[in-house]
Chain A
Amino acid sequence: LAKTTQPISMDSYEGQEVNITCSHNNIATNDYITWYQQFPSQGPRFIIQGYKTKVTNEVASLFIPADRKSSTLSLPRVSLSDTAVYYCLVGDMGGGGADGLTFGKGTHLIIQP
């Protein structure tokens, strides 16, 4: 299982773009990179997933360099409601569906007015 490292906390302001970087130096060939968001007292929520280059959806973008040893979650024009913990997970898509997700401590993002 690839170990991930991400900042413990980050601060930003409403309207700014926020980039959270995750390091995963020992990522395996079959591993995908997935980000989840968790608000206090709620379950984690899937944000975005990618394998390489760039993935974009209505919520965020995920940038993955060619060596795949890191990834960056980009949140455009954040608002106060984006204050949450963001988790970077790395795992094998072909795991058969049985594998539980392994969460780290995540990045606590605080958005200020």
Chain B
Amino acid sequence: EPEVTQTPSHQVTQMGQEVILRCVPISNHLYFYWYRQILGQKVEFLVSFYNNEISEKSEIFDDQFSVERPDGSNFTLKIRSTKLEDSAMYFCASILLRSSYNEQFFGPGTRLTVL
């Protein structure tokens, strides 16, 4: 069964450093998403991406964040200057078409720890 993959599984960084989290969505999917989940809290939507541009973003997704689909397979989330409060699990998700948009396929997540 096709699945969303994410790398690395765990990333440790120093405050102020840039990090890039990588995702490979399911190959024929068209819509891509990033979510985060701070330990013990809700899963929060960050951004959606379609046709090589951002479709929607939440208030969390400020200027420190950016997304990119650099090639036909990868989908990345960059945090320019990490803060302690960026420590969280980051999940990538994808869907095929708008008709199935509620059935998002999530990756296993990257645990980001900012020291």
What's the least CB distance linking B29 to chain A, in Å?
10
User: Once the chains are docked, how many angstroms separate the CA of A4 from the CA of B30?
Assistant: 28
Please tell me the size bucket of the interface on A.
20 to 34
Interface residue? A111 (CB, 8 A): no
* Docked complex: A8-64 residues within 8 A CB-CB of B: 32, 34, 38, 41-46, 49
Instruction: Name the prevailing secondary structure of the A interface residues.
Output: loop
| A89 at the binding interface (Cβ < 8 Å) | yes
- B109 engages A93 (CB within 8 Å): no
Chain B contacts of A45 at CB under 8 A?
Answer: 106
The A45-96 residues at the B interface (CB cut-off 8 A) are 45-46, 49, 87, 89, 91, 93-96
Chain B contact residues, majority secondary structure: strand
The reply to whether B102 and A105 form a contact with Cβ atoms under 8 Å apart is no
| Bound form: Cα–Cα A45–B111 in Å | 18
Interfacial chain B residues near A103, Cβ < 8 Å: 42-44
Residues of A within 8 A of B (CB): 32, 34, 38, 41-46, 49, 87, 89, 91, 93-106
Contact status A91-B102, CB under 8 Å = yes
A98 lies within 8 A of B50 (CB): yes
**28 chain-A/chain-B pairs, Cβ below 8 angstroms:** A34-B102, A43-B91, A43-B106, A44-B104, A45-B106, A46-B102, A46-B104, A87-B43, A91-B102, A93-B99, A94-B98, A96-B101, A97-B30, A97-B31, A97-B48, A97-B95, A97-B97, A97-B101, A98-B50, A99-B101, A100-B47, A100-B58, A101-B33, A101-B102, A103-B43, A103-B44, A104-B42, A105-B42
